[in-house]
Amino acid sequence: MLRVGAHVSIAGGIDNAVGNERAVGGNCGQIFTHSPQVWQDPNVGDEEAEAFRETTAEHLDGPWVVHTSYLVNLCTPKEDLRAKSLDSMQKEVDAADKLGIEFVNVHLGAHTGAGVEAGLDNAVSVLDELSIPEGVTVLIESDAGSGTKLGGDFEHLAYVLEESDQDLDVCVDTAHTFAAGYDLSTAKGVKDTVEEFDDVVGLEHLRCIHLNDSKHACGTNKDEHAHIGEGEIGVEGMETLLNHPELADVPLVLETPTEDGKSFEWNIERVRQLREE
């Protein structure tokens, strides 16, 4: 079964996300529990959590993903930022548990001069301090790899998964992966990238894909999303990804732009057109 959805708004209450997802044609999806630009608690009420769980069970196939705040930096060497990141992550996994959401997605962040290995070790140490509820899994998201940000190389993801005491998995963002230098624009490029991911990380750890095309060329480290099939990854790459047998059951979450008269609804329909059933 094709599970595809988008990152939708929770304006007016988290339970509104279900209707917002249905409105764009999605059967799974992703949310922020609060504004991602500030340090803020999820603040999920009992009634809206119950309504969210009930309407999700009634109308969607799932899963849902909680995307953490953009301020979270697991790799930081700064103690104050580390403490804030840990506190924020703990509140996100607790909120996911309350909402019945299976996945919490997080970027590793930037080492800001500490170095790659130290940055990855910092991330592992924060993750290992979390008390993750049963039924919730933290996903480490692949990154575009600009500056001192980590997660652009598959080896970074594998290191964190191997070194952490937690049972972690991975979310691959296609635009980020492409920007980080993994060519997804051709059938051969997709095949080679999937094989490399399997060799380095393991496909059993791939639990979600952020399906986004890229406005910039492969290896530029520039993170700007494009409509499905209309960016630098293009139709061949997207069609190959969507029909790769090893990826067929992985949930797809779109973070495509709203521009040129096209929004999530157009992009989800585009995915359905490119997927061979």
Q: Are 194 and 150 in contact (CB under 8 A)?
A: no
Coil, helix or strand for 134?
A: coil
Per-residue model confidence as pLDDT tens for the chain (277 residues) = 899 999 999 999 999 999 999 999 999 999 999 999 999 999 899 999 999 999 999 999 999 999 999 999 999 999 999 999 999 999 999 999 999 999 999 999 999 999 999 999 999 999 999 999 999 999 999 999 999 999 999 999 999 999 999 999 999 999 999 999 999 999 999 999 999 999 999 999 999 999 999 999 999 999 999 999 999 999 999 999 999 999 999 999 999 999 999 999 999 999 999 998 6
- How many domains, the chain? 1
Segments forming the whole domain that contains residue 162: 4-274
pTM of the model: 0.97
Two structure tokens written together for 200: 């380095």
CATH number of the CATH domain containing 252: 3.20.20.150
Measured CA to CA, the distance from residue 213 to residue 215 in angstroms comes to: 7
> Inter-axis angle of helices 116-129 and 154-163, to 10 degrees?
40
Question: Could you give the 3-state DSSP secondary structure of residue 24?
Answer: coil
Q: To 5 degrees, how large is the angle CA 25–CA 26–CA 32?
A: 125
CB burial string 254-274: b at 16+ within 10 A, e below: bbbbeeeebbbebbbebbeeb
